[in-house]
Structure 1
Amino acid sequence: MKNVTRRTVLSLSAAGAAAAFLSACGGPSTSGGGSSAAPTAASLEGVKPASEIQFWSNHPGQSSEIEKSIIAAFEKANPGIKVKLITAGKNYEEVYQKFNTAYASGNAGDVVVASDATWFKYFLNKQIIPLDDLFASQKFDVEDFRTALLEDYNYKGKHYGVPYSRSTPVFYYNKDHFKAAGLPDRAPKTWQELAEWAPKLKAASTKAQQVFTVPDAESYNAWTLQNVIWGYGGGFSKDGDFALTKSPETKEAVSFLQKAIHGDKWAAIGSGEPADLFTSGATSTVVASTGSLKGILSAATFNVGVGFLPGGPKETDKIVPTGGAGVAINAKASPERQLAAAMFIKFLTNAENAAAFSKATGYLPTRTSADMKDAIQATPQLKIAIDQLEKTRPQDDARVFLPGGDLELAKALQGMLTADSDPQPNLDALSTKLEGIYNKELKPRLG
């Protein structure tokens, strides 16, 4: 069986007792008995851009002000086009739900934020268009995008999104707490090292309630905890095999977290936004998005340290998941609105605005030519996030491509970490659940 990439989705072997994917270079087959062809971009020959479009966003990383600023600059450069910024939800999933509901009636936005875990759902629902023809007609400098970030939206050789608010998780630590505990001023190199440091942090007079906050199901735990699981050599899927979810390596990672919570008691599942618990001083360390960087630095009343994600006993290199969101175009938008949307996306994601957005939020600069000198000078911690791109790896297919896969993973992880019991039965059930989702919900839609 050939390796199946992040963009090579899910075609089960008819004889496979396990959920082994067949190779389908460039993406899954949609021929023969499958759903009808995906939408295509409208012909824009002779088309004039619409006078107004809507941009549906959740303002990732508290970005509403910089979004408004970029929109104002776009409208100044294009006086015949107005962009109405719509708050479509507090997170990526809420944006997806609102867009999905409004799409049927034709009232969804023209440009929509599409996250790592929602863009493929938009695609499956035939709600977004491939952008490559628009890249050509609008002369997008696509080669200037960071390749790994742009290719996250590549399906069967076509791109269905453009990188926008892209991120990785990073490790945040309270420098004052570390100093009080006599620890070095750096992030731990491995999770085992943090476990070794934990007694000193607990003994220090920091008033923190715990050393580390484990994200709950509503805080994208399936995203960030991939780091811990990968460090142990486990995962949610590998080369299309869901059996990795119930592997000894995955169990070992979950058991490590259980011991930290219930045995050694230096970690706890967060109730609420982990970054808020960290900035309040309730926890000494946290893993959160680079998109939270500016908000954390602004809210904290102590010295904040930022470092690479810790590794594990088996893997310390490629253990960082990419995440965040891109922007996509509504398939039901008229040709005039698609053209205006393409013009806006080109402006929104150009090198100058990519740098401005990164400086304002802490999200990664999506353009290689983005001038980050001023941003890094203003926020030196941002360089850590950029440098950590060398340690990234594609997310497990089970989270990104399975309809509802992220939710199932999140609920299962929270359930296992809340309980102080053998996680194996739950991991077995989760693996079976993921395979069932593929067979019942995804495979029929792919043909």
Structure 2
Amino acid sequence: MTLRSRSAAVAAGASIALLLSACSTDDTGGGGGGASASDVPGAEVLDDLDEAVEVEFWHSMDSTNGQVLNGLIDEFNAENEGRVRVTGTFQGDYDTTLAQHRAAIQQGDTANLIMVYDLGTQFMIDSGQTVPAQAFVDKDEYDTGSLEDALLNYFTVDGDLRSFPFNNSTPLMYINRDAFEEAGLDPDTPPKDLAEIREYAEALTVTSEDGQVEQYGFGAAVYGWFVEQFMARAAVPYCDNGNGREGRAEEALFNDPKVVEVVEWWQSMIDDGLAVQLGRSTDDAQAAFTSGRAAMTLESTGSLGGFLEQSDFEVGAGYFPLVSADDPGGSIIGGASLWINGEGHSQEEVRGSWEFVQHLLTPESQSVWHAGTGYLAVNTEGYDGPEAQERATQFPQFAVAAAQLADSETSVNTAGCMMGVMSDARVAAEEGWEAALTTDDTPEAALTRSKESLQRKIDEYNDSVG
């Protein structure tokens, strides 16, 4: 099951407005208030219990990832027998999980702990149901020093950490190392910007005697997350008011000249036969790379395991490209974080949830999590664990993602946009990008029209919480 549903349902329309109109929020960049350290229960509330506190955890991890997560849950339960017992429940993909949470808020019956993807951050703050992560950090003087800076940056709003990063990834450039060597290119130095990708693609594109392209130099999906990444790499905000972190976001900015430049470049690559037109399907883009049809692609770190298993060539990885060589760089993350619900829950349940989150963030757990799933190790000390070290030895490509984040400049631009309808914004960016590639519209006109179509949803959302 994909965790990257393109549905705009998460933040859309009347149900959001009805729900948030009942919540008390302010009109700053973060919205919503929340408990302070003095309101957070200490560990003593779990002493001398008659029976273990039950913690319900809603998540979106199935298949292999779900098995690894269940292993960490079982380990925690064994260590906390008679004190805290966590029950993990798969709710569906990210959109479905958040929709279920919205319904639970309306019914007054939320889970104790919930995994919510990055695009739901502003909604979670505005709903006013959770205890800010910062309150737990302050209460216990919890040391966040070993947690990845770029991830803390994303989930920090108005100076406070709002949720705990957990299953996070970042996009990379993937290359067919065999094709690079056959073309006389060094696979250890992948292209760093769009101009270099074009230069490499000219050498990598293979045409048959009858003029048919047998191997394109480049091919990737028209995926809205990549727009966010290109903008972050160029230190350009995705939305106004400091990416929604200095005031509530009122306008999306994905028709920025930097994005126009990307789309113009993309169109020229297709027109010149150097890139294959793949549309918005990430499945098609992945298949084009693993089959050898495209020698370079863009994808999440979460796809590396599949690429290694499905390709009959050696897979390499490099940093996600810059638009221009002089862009400052940086990286924006994807995936989800953990939110502890406070509204309607006992102090024992709140504390039990926090105890479990701490278990998930230990170096030992993060080593197991990273090695078993391919997600980043939120706790960077996790990369030193035996499981992570074994994976690094077997698959050195995974080190590229950690290095890219370590080299990332942390700012409001790399923190990402805080917007209540961020899922709609991502879809709108994709629609404008695709329209530029498939119609007579110029990239600037297509992106601007798509941006303007999004404005009504932004206004409706902000009115509902204002």
Q: Under TM normalisation by the shorter chain, which class is it?
A: 0.7 to 0.9
Task: Give the Cα–Cα distance (whole angstroms) in 2 for the partners of residues 159 and 36 of structure 1.
Answer: 13
User: Structure 1 residues 184, 359: closer, same or farther in 2, change over 3 A?
Assistant: same
1:386 matches 2:406: no
Task: Give the Cα–Cα distance (whole angstroms) in 2 for the partners of residues 333 and 279 of structure 1.
Answer: 48
User: Percent identity at matched positions?
Assistant: 23
Per the normalisation by structure 2, the TM-score is 0.77
Task: Give the Cα–Cα distance (whole angstroms) in 1 for the partners of residues 124 and 234 of structure 2.
Answer: 33
- Counterpart secondary structure, 1:321: coil
Find the counterpart in structure 2 of residue 30 from structure 1.
Answer: 26
Instruction: Determine which of 172, 191, 201 is the counterpart of 1:198.
Output: 201
Contact kept? 1:213, 1:269, Cα under 8 Å: yes
Single out whichever of 237-246 and 120-129 deviates more from structure 2: 237-246
Task: Give the Cα–Cα distance (whole angstroms) in 1 for the partners of residues 87 and 408 of structure 2.
Answer: 37
Find the counterpart in structure 2 of residue 121 from structure 1.
Answer: 123
1:344 matches 2:339: no
1:75 matches 2:53: no
Instruction: Determine which of 401, 405, 408 is the counterpart of 2:419.
Output: 401
Residues 20-169 of structure 1 mapped to structure 2, 5 A cutoff: 30=26, 38-40=33-35, 43-44=40-41, 47-48=45-46, 51-59=53-61, 62-80=64-82, 81-90=84-93, 92-138=94-140, 140-169=142-171
Task: Give the Cα–Cα distance (whole angstroms) in 1 for the partners of residues 136 and 232 of structure 2.
Answer: 37
Find the counterpart in structure 2 of residue 187 from structure 1.
Answer: 190
- Counterpart secondary structure, 1:144: coil
- Counterpart secondary structure, 2:277: strand
Find the counterpart in structure 2 of residue 423 from structure 1.
Answer: 443
Find the counterpart in structure 2 of residue 298 from structure 1.
Answer: 309
Per the normalisation by structure 1, the TM-score is 0.80
Task: Give the Cα–Cα distance (whole angstroms) in 2 for the partners of residues 260 and 234 of structure 1.
Answer: 24
Aligned partner letter, 1:40: A
How big is each residue's C-alpha offset from its partner over 1:244-268, in whole Å with a ceiling of 9 and x where there is no partner?
5434443222111122234435132
Single out whichever of 372-381 and 236-245 deviates more from structure 2: 236-245
Task: Give the Cα–Cα distance (whole angstroms) in 1 for the partners of residues 439 and 114 of structure 2.
Answer: 38
Task: Give the Cα–Cα distance (whole angstroms) in 2 for the partners of residues 60 and 291 of structure 1.
Answer: 14
Find the counterpart in structure 1 of residue 7 from structure 2.
Answer: none
Q: CA deviation at 1:243?
A: 8.1
Aligned partner letter, 1:281: G
Task: Give the Cα–Cα distance (whole angstroms) in 2 for the partners of residues 70 and 211 of structure 1.
Answer: 41
Instruction: Determine which of 301, 306, 310 is the counterpart of 2:321.
Output: 310
Residues 347-362 of structure 1 mapped to structure 2, 5 A cutoff: 347-362=359-374
User: Structure 1 residues 225, 392: closer, same or farther in 2, change over 3 A?
Assistant: farther
Q: CA deviation at 1:228?
A: 4.0
How big is each residue's C-alpha offset from its partner over 1:266-319, in whole Å with a ceiling of 9 and x where there is no partner?
132253424354334343222111233233323333211011122233534415
1:214 matches 2:220: yes
Q: What are the ranges of 5 or more consecutive residues in structure 1 without an aligned counterpart?
A: 1-28
Q: CA deviation at 1:70?
A: 1.0
Compute the RMSD of aligned alpha carbons: 3.4
- Counterpart secondary structure, 1:360: helix
Find the counterpart in structure 1 of residue 260 from structure 2.
Answer: 251
Contact kept? 1:191, 1:310, Cα under 8 Å: yes
Q: What are the ranges of 5 or more consecutive residues in structure 2 without an aligned counterpart?
A: 1-24, 244-249
User: Structure 1 residues 422, 136: closer, same or farther in 2, change over 3 A?
Assistant: closer
Contact kept? 1:161, 1:328, Cα under 8 Å: yes
Contact kept? 1:212, 1:268, Cα under 8 Å: no
Task: Give the Cα–Cα distance (whole angstroms) in 2 for the partners of residues 254 and 144 of structure 1.
Answer: 38
Q: CA deviation at 1:406?
A: 2.6
Q: How many residues align?
A: 412
User: Structure 1 residues 272, 387: closer, same or farther in 2, change over 3 A?
Assistant: closer
Task: Give the Cα–Cα distance (whole angstroms) in 2 for the partners of residues 200 and 78 of structure 1.
Answer: 58
- Counterpart secondary structure, 2:131: coil
